[in-house]
Amino acid sequence: MKNINILGILFFVTTSIIIAEDLNHIKIKSDKVEFKIDANKINFLNNVFIDSKHISISASSAIYDDKIQVVTMYGSPSKITSNKDNDFFYGMADKILFFKNERIHLIGNATMKYNGISISSNLIIFNPITGNVSSE
């Protein structure tokens, strides 16, 4: 097997991967996983579920790109919810980018409900840790 310096993967069981060091310990589950070693990417296919300390995301598929340390999720739509008891938010978009600092970009037909406010835009940028929201 080639040197797998991709991700900092700590654990791999069937189709569940825990990415610990670079992405604040997120867990990704899917029906199928494809390692693209030469491209430093991992493809997650069918019934993708991502869970972290702050958020949960469901999608049809996702790609983790180790070079830029971003998980890109695709769906019809992809959905995001809060994992924090005292802070509720819910959103959906055609594509969701999850960055290593847990900053979130909801792209394409994006909607979000947060603290009683509803936002609709082509792009919503959200930080679930600080609560900062912006749209373009």
List the one residue out of 76, 80, 6 whose CA is nearest residue 43. 6
pLDDT exceeds 80 at position 87 = no
Give the pLDDT score at 24.
54
Q: What gap in Å lies between CA 82 and CA 76, rounded to an integer?
A: 19
Q: Is the pLDDT of residue 56 over 70?
A: yes
Q: Which has more confidence, 128 or 45?
A: 45
> Where do the domains of the chain lie?
9-135
More confident residue, 115 or 110: 110
Q: Using alpha carbons only, how large is the chain's radius of gyration in Å?
A: 15
CATH superfamily of domain region 9-135: Lipopolysaccharide (LPS) transport protein A like domain (2.60.450.10)
Q: How far apart are CA 96 and CA 105, in angstroms?
A: 6
Ramachandran region, residue 53 (left: φ > 0; alpha: ψ -120 to 50; beta: rest):
alpha
- For residue 36, pLDDT over 60 is answered with yes
pLDDT of residue 69: 87
Q: How many CB atoms lie within 10 A of CB 55?
A: 22
Helices (H) and strands (E) in the chain, counts: 0, 11
